């Protein structure tokens, strides 16, 4: 474990529900279906509907940000078309998504030791469920609180909406849960929901970002969580 082992153990010792972001802590969803290609495909949908692509949509290769920006254009029909296109792209992507080292072990360890487990993700519910089925993880996850087809994109993290759905589905109070996420928006959503957080610094520079967002603890490997989950207790 790294130097954050003590705070990680202290956080986990007081919780009973583990909330996991999907893309990052569990897998790399766009490992072989590049995010930039999917973002380009979404811009094609915009062009087909609008005849052109607003300049600010060409400045990002993040498909989720493209969806969020398109929603801001105020065209429900276009937003719905993008939602459907992104669901299809994500479901295709999980067929070749790369598991994050230690991520599956974290889910299994939590499930085996009595934790309630939820996936909380801006990625589509269809894609998350497809990935869990493909890797034999469905039985270890109690709740999937992910972007659903009728959800306004504005409710994606950092909005706490999905965390509230996870807590409601698990029937646990916010102070009994901890979210593991690899982005600033994950930590921001955790703060907004009153949930403890553990940052997963899986890339250079991420640690500083997660620390700046006041993550409760930071790990550089998902494997750092396995032993505390297995040896800790549910308070």
pLDDT of residue 1: 38
pLDDT at 2 over 70: no
pLDDT tens by residue, 39-91: 999 999 999 998 889 888 988 999 999 999 999 988 999 999 999 999 999 99
pLDDT tens by residue, 108-127: 999 999 999 999 999 999 99
3-class SS shares of the chain: helix, strand, coil, % to 5: 50, 15, 30
Six token digits for residue 115: 């934790």
- Whether 190 and 18 have beta carbons less than 8 Å apart is answered as no
> Is residue 204 classed exposed, middle or buried when 0-12, 13-18 and 19+ CB atoms within 10 A define those classes?
exposed
pLDDT of residue 228: 92
Mean pLDDT rounded to a whole number for the chain: 93
pLDDT tens by residue, 86-107: 999 999 999 999 999 999 999 9
pLDDT of residue 51: 86
pLDDT at 18 over 80: yes
Helix or strand run (H / E) with residue 83: helix 76-94
Supply the pTM of this predicted model: 0.93
Six token digits for residue 214: 């006041």
């Amino acid at each position: 474990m790294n130097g954050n082992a003590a705070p990680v153990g202290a956080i986990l010792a007081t919780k009973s529900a583990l909330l996991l972001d999907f893309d990052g802590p569990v897998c790399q969803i766009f490992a072989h279906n590049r995010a930039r290609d999917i973002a380009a495909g979404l811009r094609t949908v915009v062009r087909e509907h609008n005849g052109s692509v607003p300049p600010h949509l060409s400045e990002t290769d993040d498909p989720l940000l493209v969806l969020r920006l398109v929603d801001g254009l105020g065209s429900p029909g276009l937003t719905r078309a993008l939602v459907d296109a992104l669901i299809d792209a994500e479901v295709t992507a999980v067929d070749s998504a790369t598991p994050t080292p230690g991520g599956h072990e974290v889910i299994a360890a939590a499930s085996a030791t009595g934790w309630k487990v939820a996936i909380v993700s801006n990625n589509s519910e269809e894609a998350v469920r497809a990935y869990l089925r493909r890797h034999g993880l469905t039985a270890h996850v109690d709740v999937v609180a992910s972007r659903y087809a009728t959800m306004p994109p504005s409710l994606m993290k950092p909005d706490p909406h999905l965390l509230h759905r996870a807590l409601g589905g698990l029937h646990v109070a916010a102070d009994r849960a901890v979210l593991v996420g690899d982005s600033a928006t994950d930590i921001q959503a955790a703060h907004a929901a009153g949930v403890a957080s553990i940052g997963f610094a899986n890339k250079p520079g991420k640690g500083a970002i997660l620390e700046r967002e006041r993550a409760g603890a930071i790990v550089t490997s998902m494997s750092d969580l396995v032993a505390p989950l297995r040896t800790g207790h549910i308070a």
